[in-house]
Amino acid sequence: MRPFVSSLFCLFLLAGPSPAAEKPNFVFVYMDDLGWADVGFNGSRYYLTPNIDRLAREGIIFTSAYSNAPNCAPSAGAIRRGQWKLIEYFEDGHLELYNLADDMGEKNNLARSRVQIADQLHAQLTQWRKSVNAPVPTKRNPQFDPTFKPRSRRPN
């Protein structure tokens, strides 16, 4: 028995300590206000995005994510907690609150009738923005043109 234990001990010494597990190496790129057709890897010929296209080719693309709004609302302007969704509009500061369990179509704004929930979510949204240094517009862009529509193809 003693030679077996000695052999086992020697084998353990030869093997040495196990190398520490390597930490994963990844970059998470979150693109705010990006439409699905605004990048080359999704077929855009108007916007040239070779660096993003290369990242998409060499990495993983998540194609099924939840957006806070069906329009160009910035992600820093909305928060979801459980069944509740709060949207803050930077143009005039008004809030919209929806109970998604009862109103998936977001037709009934509850911000005035459920003030405590709206205030709580707004405080959490504000705290998150401060923690990540999310820029928030403080005045309207004088060059903003709501009628602007990009051309469908980039000129040659």
Residue 86, pLDDT score: 93
In the CATH scheme, what is the code of domain 68-140? 3.30.1120.10
Domain ranges of the chain: 27-65, 68-140
Residue 22, pLDDT score: 77
C-alpha dihedral, 67 to 73 to 79 to 82, nearest 10°:
-40
**78 phi and psi, to 5 degrees?**
-150, 155
Would you give the DSSP letter of residue 96? E
Residue 26, pLDDT score: 72
Residue 5, pLDDT score: 40
Residue bearing tokens 């806070």: 68
Model-level pTM?
0.53
Q: What is the pLDDT along the chain (156 residues), one digit of tens a residue?
A: 444 444 434 444 444 555 666 777 777 776 766 777 889 998 888 889 999 899 889 888 877 666 666 655 666 788 889 999 999 887 777 899 999 999 988 899 999 999 999 999 999 999 988 988 887 777 776 776 667 666 555 444
Residues 87-105 as b/e (b if ≥16 CB within 10 A, e otherwise) read: bbeeeeeebbbbbeeeeee
